[in-house]
Structures are given as C-alpha cells and as structure tokens.
Amino acid sequence: MLAGKRILLIIGGGIAAFKSLDLIRRLRDQGATVTPVLTKAAEEFVTPLSVSALAAEKVYRDLFDLTDEAEMGHIELSRAADLVVVAPATADLMAKMAGGHANDLASTLLMATDKRVLIAPSMNVRMWEHPATQRNLATLTGDGVLVVGPDEGAMACGEFGPGRMAEVPQIIDAVGAALADGPLKGRHVIVTSGPTHEPIDPVRYIANRSSGAQGTALARALAGLGAHVTFVTGPADMPPPAGVKVVRVQTARQMLEAVQGALPADAAVFAAAVADWRVANAADSKMKKTKTGLPVLEFAENPDILATVSQMETGRPGLVVGFAAETDDVIAHATAKRDRKGCDWIVANDVSPETGIMGGSENAVTLISDAGADSWPRMGKDQVANRIAQLIAEALA
Ligand code: CTP
C-alpha cells in the first residue's frame, strides 16, 4: 500500500515513543522507507540505535551535526519525503509547530517542509485539554496539518481521558489516506458538516440535532479517494476525520464565508444542517429576566450557502451536491429543492423521528440528479459516504 513512499518520521519525547518503534516496522512492512528523526527528549525514551536498526536508516538527531548537514541538509531532508509524520506529537512539539519555531532539527524540518504533515498527538489528558494545546491544535488544523487521535483511555500517568497516542494501525490508515493515489488525487472538494449555532446572547444559542456524522463520513471517504478536502464544520459531536483541512465555524454566515474562502473547488458537498434563521435582535450581553415580560426574538433569514454556490456565475465548482432533510413527501420536496437551489445532485433523506436517522448511524437516501431519483437501501452513514464519494470520483473523471 505504501510501496515506494518515503516517510520522514519525527519521534517526539513522550512515553508513546515506544509505539513508534512498531510504527516504523509496520510502515516498512507496507513498503515505505522511513527516515527517522529523534528530538533530544525522545532519546530519553528510545535509543537512536534501536530506531536506526528498525528503520535500517541513519537516525537524524541534531540540527548542528556537521556531518548530517554535509550529507543531507535539513531542507533537503524534509523535501525528499512524501509525507512527514510526527509520532508522538507532544504538547511542546505542537506548540513549536503552531508558533513556527525552528530551534532544533525536528522543528526546523517541520518549518522547511512543503509536504503534508500528519501528527499523532500524545500527552497527559490535562495537557491535551489545556486551552493552549487546543488553541495550537486549531492553528495546526487550520494550517492543513493532518491529525490522527488521540484516543481516550487509561494513561501511563494513571489518569483517564483523551491523550493516548492513536494505535499503530490507525496511524497507518491515516498515512495511507494522506498519501492516497486515488481517483480524486489532485481534486479539491469542500464539505460542509454539522449544525450551526446562532447566538441569542453571548451564552445562549439556537441549534439543531445534527451530529455531523454524515458530513464527517463523507469527508473521510473523499480524502480516502485522494481528494484534498476542506472540511467546514459547525460545532459537531464528533472529531473531524484525519487527512482533511478543517475550518471550524459557529454560524451560517461564518460557514458561507469559510466556503467562499475555500473556493475554487472541483466539487462541493453541503451536508451541514444550516440554521435557516438567525436571531436578528441577538443581545451583546446576557439577557436577564425582567418584570416587564418575556423576551421576544426576531429572526432574519440566513444566507443559503448551497444556493449561493450553486448559482455562482463564475468559479462555480464543477459538481455541487446538496442534502435534503425532509419529513414527508421526501422525493417530491427534494426534487423541488434541487430545482430551486440549482445544485447538480441532491441526496434526500427522511428525518422523521421514527427513522432514527438524525443523530443515528444509518441513513436511507435517494440520490436525485438529471438521471432521476435513485433510492438506496438503508445502510450505514459510512457506506452512504463511500458510495457518494465513488460517484463524485466518476463524475469528475
Ligand atoms: N443549506 C445551506 N444553507 C442554508 C440552508 C441549507 O447550504 N442556509 C443546504 C444544506 O446544507 C443542505 C440543503 O441546503 O445541503 C438543504 O437543506 P434543508 O435544511 O433540507 O433545506 P432548507 O433550505 O432548509 O429548505 P426547507 O426549509 O424548504 O426544508
């Protein structure tokens, strides 16, 4: 699967560094060549000798090692790779990356590379949840850095929670997705996902029950076929998939702006459950109970992102796909919606409460296109996503 690929593996100084030894072995089993780089701290956890023996390659350790510089300068080292993997990515390494530091070999390589970077964070749960780490994570994903994990579980320090480095097979999958030579290689696809939150005041908002499951599955499937995916997501229940560029938004207007900022694209898939209305008289400070009566909310219509993009006169993506969440007369309403909004395909689904689709793991959809309405049997949201991604690949071929 990874035959002929060269991976620059930066091993950070964390207890999970021992898993990176297995990662090297598995990457090589898949046919990849691994060039290992150890940070100073990593050498406290694994020895250069064991890393080098497993990789069957020289281990790069120090920026100012003159022999290294003469053999292969750090710029060349980072350019020769097809993918840069940081595992474990410690809180400190993430902070350096987010801040653009270049004060040792690992951080300099990360600054000098023009290749995709995949990180597998690993740290104590409190360090992971610390606002600084979360801020750095948001910066990194915004920069297009791919993230796998961390997992939740018992940690070496005796605590429990998210922070454990993803398991090796999961990292291998993310490497595969990042390097995928699929039919969508070189294509840019925008996916919107999740609900939007429309503020009432600084602490209250209007939302909906969308979990983001279908959009997340779609983004994962498209990335799996090699697409460069920009994933514009509202506050969803689940983490975004590995291998995509994540843009986080709260409101419909922010989502429109993010989509417009991500254009041009070969295709755009609008799976988000966008709030149709926002509160026009949202308060700037927290609304208080008063004796004079109940608050009255006034609404304004939100921009329709799908319709706006579908009706672009210049720079419209070649294929625009919308979703239609309906509770009755699904096909008729969805067909009318497709005509009204001007998208190429609409994926219609019945979200009546008895179907359990909204927020559930399955979906029963009908794909409406120029070719008519094609109803698929009920299947997992992942399978729906894979099928849509395949059809998108065929349409763009
Ligand atoms: N959509 C959008 N922007 C909006 C509203 C909806 O991009 N402001 C997109 C959704 O992402 C989805 C499609 O439009 O792809 C249909 O969403 P849906 O909620 O089913 O339709 P509505 O526009 O709300 O239409 P209606 O009120 O008639 O159901």
pLDDT digit string, tens, across residues 21-47: 999 999 999 999 999 999 999 999 999
- What is the residue whose two structure tokens read 């709030």? 275
Strand partners, 60: 37
Quote the pLDDT of residue 66.
52
Atom of ligand 1 nearest to the CA of 347: 15
Mutating to test ligand 1, I would choose from 254, 323, 368, 388 the residue with most ligand atoms within 8 A of its C-beta, which is 323
Q: Whose CA is nearest to atom 14 of ligand 1?
A: 306
Rounded Cα distance between 354 and 361, Å, is 14
pLDDT tier for residue 133 given thresholds of 50, 70 and 90:
very high
CB 301 near ligand 1, within 6 Å: no
pLDDT digit string, tens, across residues 260-313: 999 999 999 999 999 999 999 999 999 998 878 899 999 999 999 999 999 999
CB 322 near ligand 1, within 6 Å: yes
Rounded Cα distance between 109 and 91, Å, is 17
pLDDT digit string, tens, across residues 81-113: 999 999 999 999 999 999 999 989 999 999 988
pLDDT tier for residue 353 given thresholds of 50, 70 and 90:
confident
Q: Whose CA is nearest to atom 25 of ligand 1?
A: 337
CB 34 near ligand 1, within 6 Å: no
Reply yes or no on whether the pLDDT at 115 is more than 90: no
CA proximity to 237, closest of 258, 217, 253: 217
198, two tokens: 């429309």
- Cα(257) to ligand 1 centroid in Å equals 16
Complete domains list, the chain, with CATH: 6-178 (3.40.50.1950), 188-396 (3.40.50.10300)
Quote the pLDDT of residue 142.
67
CB 274 near ligand 1, within 6 Å: yes
Within a 10 A sphere around the Cβ of 135, how many other Cβ atoms? 13
CB 234 near ligand 1, within 6 Å: no
pLDDT digit string, tens, across residues 176-214: 888 877 889 899 999 999 999 999 999 999 999 889 999
- Cα(274) to ligand 1 centroid in Å equals 6
CA proximity to 185, closest of 222, 143, 145, 144: 222
**Chain mean pLDDT for the chain:** 91
Phi, psi of 213 (to 5 degrees): -65, -45
pLDDT tier for residue 55 given thresholds of 50, 70 and 90:
very high
- Cα(305) to ligand 1 centroid in Å equals 8
CB 323 near ligand 1, within 6 Å: yes
CB 345 near ligand 1, within 6 Å: no
Atom of ligand 1 nearest to the CA of 305: 7
Rounded Cα distance between 67 and 64, Å, is 9
Q: Whose CA is nearest to atom 4 of ligand 1?
A: 304
